[in-house]
Amino acid sequence: MNHLLEVDDVSKSFGGHAVVRHVSFVLDAGASLGLVGSNGAGKTTLFRCIAGELPIDSGSILLDGAALPSRPDARARRGIARTFQIVELFGGQTVLDHVLVALQAHQGRQGPWRDLVHGGRTSSSEREKCMNILALVGLADRAEIPATTLSLGDRRAVELARALVGEPRLLLADEPSSGLDGEESRILIRILNRVRKETGVAVILVDHDLGTVKAVADTVIAMDAGAVIAAGSYETVVSNPQVMSSWLGQSS
């Protein structure tokens, strides 16, 4: 039986500088993985390689045992979705509008052809699906308000909802707790864990907030200078002497 995701001996360099060095790991369906490390450790570059935003120099990345297409949109159709640290919203559009646009984009039903065939309308089934997703992330009661009036925590929930409309099997979450206060982070953790439980989506989480990583990730990988220096449970990784020295700034 194949793992959902297999990252095998992946390396990536920029201008001769190795940013990701021979990284390997596997992720099973429904599991969650936290990528941690200091700035410049290579975790975000690895994340972008998995998303298809950067080509790898060597190694392989397989989904369900098969090679992935190079383009991010093609990977999205294969079941990989991602959120972004900086949430971009459209002025004047409601929360529901944002999720509907994401759904139509995933279905390839945007633009002049959709307008010609459907008169620019959204179907009742599309609205129902988007409302169900908004309920999952705790925003159903704010579906009709302008998204730009939301708090940062709720904006991140909109971003998550947009990623979920394609029913991904793997969700790449990029610094979801960045800029959130303690209560907002706790709400986000509850949302992410509810999403995992109810959809069965696997998650790769890149986050500097250790509380979020501990609460969401089943396993953790610590990186330094592009390489994996520790892997295992949260407690195992953060107590690893090499991690404590290189990342946490403590001597072993």
pLDDT in tens, 11-69: 999 998 999 999 999 999 999 999 998 888 899 999 999 999 999 999 999 999 999 98
Q: Single out the residue in 113, 137, 167 at which a domain terminates.
A: 167
Q: Single out the residue in 167, 197, 230 at which a domain terminates.
A: 167
Give the β-pairing of 32-36 and 219-224. Answer: parallel
Residues 175-179: contacts with CB within 8 Å, 24+ apart?
175/85, 175/206, 175/207, 175/208, 176/83, 176/85, 176/205, 176/207, 176/212, 177/207, 177/208, 177/209, 177/212, 178/85, 178/207, 178/208, 178/209, 179/152
The rounded distance, in Å, linking the Cα atoms of 250 and 252 is 7
Give pLDDT tens digits for 75-88: 988 999 999 888 88
Residues 139 and 237 in one domain: no
Chain centroid to CA 90: how far?
21
Give the percent of the chain with pLDDT over 70. 92
Which pLDDT does position 112 carry in this prediction? 41
- Which residues form the domain of 126? 87-167
Residues 178 and 150 in one domain: no
The average confidence (pLDDT) of the chain is 89
Give the β-pairing of 5-14 and 219-224. Answer: unpaired
Around Cβ 16, how many Cβ atoms within 10 Å? 5
Residue 121 predicted with pLDDT over 90: no
Which pLDDT does position 110 carry in this prediction? 52
Residues 182 and 221 in one domain: yes
